[in-house]
Amino acid sequence: MKIAGRSDIGLVRANNQDNYLITKNNKGDILALVCDGIGGAKAGDVASLIATKNIGESFSQIDGFLDLSEGETWLKKVLNETNDLIYSTTATTDDYAGMGTTFVGALFINNEIIVANVGDSRAYVLEKDHLKQVTIDHSLVYELAASGKITVDEIENHPQRNVLTNALGVVGSLRVDTFIVAKGEKLLLCTDGLSGYVKHADLFKIINNNEIQMDQTLEALITKANSVGGYDNVTIILADLGGFFHE
C-alpha cells in the first residue's frame, strides 16, 4: 500500500489552518489524519496542530491493535480527550477563544480500515467505476437534508453550507462517527477546501487516473481546487489500496 499527503494554503487565506499526519506504530498499524482549523475562529491553526500532535502522540504509545473494535475504541477515546484538551486550552488566552478543528482519520489494521470523522472533513473511497463518500458531514445543511427541510441537491449551494454542528474543541458532548471500509482501490481524506469547491465528477476523474503517479495525483487535486478560486486551504491524504485487502 502506498500513502502520501499534501497541504496547500490556497490563493486567498493569509495562513494555513490545516494539519495532517501519516504515522505507523510498532505493530505496523497506520494512522492517517487530516484536521482543518475552523476558519472563522481565532487560532484555527493552533487547534488543528494540537489535535494532530495529541492524537499522534497517543498513537505512538500503542504497540498495536488486535482488531478494528480496539481501534474504534481508541479513536473515540483519543478524540474525546483531544476535544477536552483544545477546549481547556481556549481558556488560557483570549487569542484562542472559540478555536476548534475538524478531524477525519483512517486506521489501517490487519488489512482492514476504520474511518472516523468530526466536522466536515471527508473520506472517500474509489470503487471501480465510482467515487463513494464514506463520511457524513456534521453540518447544518446535512441535518436540514436529513430532516427533509431541504433536498440533497440543495446542499452544495446552500448559503449555510459551511455551518458546522460538531468540531473538536467547541462542543462539550462530542459526536464521533465511524465507518468500516472493506473494499476499494484508493482512499481519500480531505478538508472542505477540496470537497467544497471541486465537483464530485472532477474528483473521480483525477483520482481514477492511473496513468500518473501518486504525487502527481495530489498535485492535480490541489491545482484543480486553486483553479476554481483557491478560496480555502487544501489538505489531502491519498492511499493506494492495491493489494491491501488481499495481502
Which CATH number is 2-136+166-240 given?
A: 3.60.40.10
**Cβ within 8 Å of residue 235, ≥6 positions away:** 5, 6, 7, 8, 18, 19, 20, 34, 36, 190, 191, 193, 194
Span 152-162, average pLDDT = 71
Q: 39 pLDDT exceeds 70?
A: no
Predicted local distance difference test score (pLDDT) of residue 150: 77
Q: Of 139, 142, 111, 106, nearest to 124 (Cα)? A: 106
Query: What is d(CA 209, CA 131) in angstroms, rounded to the nearest whole number?
Result: 12
Mean pLDDT of 11-16: 94
Cβ–Cβ < 8 Å for 46, 99: yes
- Summarize the confidence of residues 175-196 as an average pLDDT: 97
| CA neighbor of 36 nearest in space, from 190, 177, 171 | 190
Q: What is the pLDDT of residue 211?
A: 93
pLDDT score of 41: 64
Percent of the chain at pLDDT above 90? 80
Instruction: List pLDDT tens digits, range 110-120.
Output: 999 999 999 99
**How much is the average pLDDT of 144-148?**
75
Say if residues 171 and 85 touch (Cβ distance below 8 Å).
no
**Stretch 166-183: mean pLDDT:** 94
Mean pLDDT of 29-43: 88
